[in-house]
A = this chain, B = another copy of it.
Amino acid sequence: MPQLVVTLDCPDRPGIVHAITGAIVAVGGNITELQQFSSPDSGRFFTRIAVEGAEAEGLERAVREATDGFGARLRVDDAERPVRTLLLASKAGHALNDLLFRWQGGELPIDVARIMANHDVLSPMAAFYGVPFESHAVTPETKADFEAQVRRVVEEEGIELVVLARYMQILSPGLCEFLAWRAINIHHSFLPGFKGANPYRQAHTRGVKLIGATAHFVTSDLDEGPIIEQNVVRVDHTMSVSKLMRKGQAQESQTLAEAVRLFAEHRVLADDDRTVIFR
């Protein structure tokens, strides 16, 4: 019997947990992990439940019946089944190598179907890890084409997660919409934030003492999607702009990998424009 993960959200009301757990018990399931959250902001209820001893289809049917009329969004996932993942990359290899190495080492429950890039410099890295790689020049003229191919790969290969591992192109609003809540981006972050070009230079000029990274879902509002994970690292006045960038990149790699893990373990739910993270 597989280890299953039930994730569900619906408008909050008394008796939800009892109804769901009753359905789980009825199909012979044993709950090994249960987290829940009632959002005072949206009035919604969220839960993630790990279940042993039940069979997926029966469990899903039972929970669906028990929550009939609740207006619930429900998923039942096999925790052992890796999440089909497409990686988008450009020239910078730090975030990509970190993901691939962790994936190869069994740290990330994903199945990397393919890497698509707008440059070919990371091709040898893909070859080393044994992942299909394709590169396409992306120009204003060819961007629509490239995005059409991304859509096709997502559909044909059953992609559940798209990771922008320092893919430096802005996705079109249409593609953002198509990938809503299933595409993760990583970018640098600062206290305070900086608008405009070359933020590391601005951070240097301003003399910040911390720099960091934010992993978030992709939306058409650039770099403003729902936040999944953030980290910072300490910096000082002696560090050049390029040193700040290297420190920032290490944060990016680590933060992106953590966000991917959270997603692939079905620990990230959507509460309007915020995430609920069941660690």
Q: Which residue of B lies closest to A15 (CB)?
A: B25
Residue numbers in B under 8 Å from A128 (CB-CB) = 124, 128
Q: Which residue of B lies closest to A105 (CB)?
A: B94
Cβ proximity bits A184-205 to B, threshold 8 Å, 1 near / 0 not: 0000011111000000000011
Q: State A128–B35 Cα separation when bound (angstroms).
A: 42
Given A32-B38, A34-B36, A237-B276, also A192-B209 (CB < 8 A): no
A103: min CB distance to chain B, Å = 12
Stretch at the interface among A139-147, A175-183, A225-233: A225-233
A237 touches B17 (CB 8 A): no
**Contact of A97 with B by CB under 8 A:** yes
Given A14-B25, A193-B191, A237-B277, also A246-B207 (CB < 8 A): no
A22: min CB distance to chain B, Å = 5
Given A32-B38, A101-B97, A237-B275, also A230-B246 (CB < 8 A): no
**Contact of A273 with B by CB under 8 A:** yes
Residue numbers in B under 8 Å from A193 (CB-CB) = 190-193
A165: min CB distance to chain B, Å = 14
Residue numbers in B under 8 Å from A277 (CB-CB) = 209, 236-237
Task: Determine which of B18, B35, B210, B227 lies in contact with A206 in the assembled complex, contact meaning CB atoms within 8 Å.
Answer: B227
Q: Which residues of A contact B (CB under 8 A)?
A: 14-18, 21-22, 24-25, 28-41, 53, 93-94, 97-98, 101, 105, 107, 124, 128, 189-193, 204-210, 212, 214, 223, 226-232, 236-238, 240, 246, 271, 273-277, 279
